[in-house]
Each structure stands twice: as C-alpha cells, then as structure tokens.
C-alpha cells in the first residue's frame, strides 16, 4: 500500500515539475519574443538578417529546446515506470 502511494507521489512530483518547467518556458518564449530592441539589433548585425527574422527565431529555438526536454523527461518517466 505504501509503495503504491509513494509511486503516485513520485509521478505527481514529476508531472508538477514538468508543468512548472513548461510554464517558465512559456514565459521565456514571451520574453524572447518581446526582446529588447538593442539586443535584437546586435543579433541582427551579427547574423546579417532582418529584425523580424531574429524575433521569429527566438520562440522557435525555445520551442525546439522545450520539445527536446519534454521528450527526455517522458523517456525518463517511462524508464522509471518499468
């Protein structure tokens, strides 16, 4: 009985951690999308692209990183469940 309760608690903690991560990831996406004009200008100069491209790439990169972390987390949960 106690091991079942412990497993449920661990699953809940893992799910809660993932939820908190996704929430912070969403805030990071918004912050990156609304980046400071000076930073966008510097990145634009460095990459040689337009400001729209730099602003559009920020959330895309954060989304890819978030997806990778989500996949690794799910794989970890599956391995732990076995």
Handedness of CA 30, 31, 32, 35 (dihedral sign): positive
Structural domain boundaries in the chain:
2-81
pTM above 0.75, yes or no: no
| Residue-by-residue DSSP string for 3-71 | HHHHHHHHHHHHHHHHHHHHHHHHHHHHHHHT--HHHHHHHHHHHT--HHHHHHHHHHHHHHHHHHHHH
Below-70 pLDDT ranges, the chain: 1-2, 31-38
pLDDT, averaged across the chain: 77
| pLDDT for res 34 | 63
């Amino acid at each position: 009985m106690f091991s079942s309760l412990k497993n449920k608690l661990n699953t809940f903690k893992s799910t809660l951690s993932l939820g908190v991560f996704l929430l912070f990831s969403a805030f990071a996406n918004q912050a990156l999308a609304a980046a400071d004009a000076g930073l966008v200008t510097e990145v634009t100069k460095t990459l040689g692209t337009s400001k729209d491209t730099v602003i559009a790439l920020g959330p895309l990169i954060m989304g890819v990183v978030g997806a990778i972390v989500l996949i690794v987390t799910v794989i970890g949960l599956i391995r732990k469940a076995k």
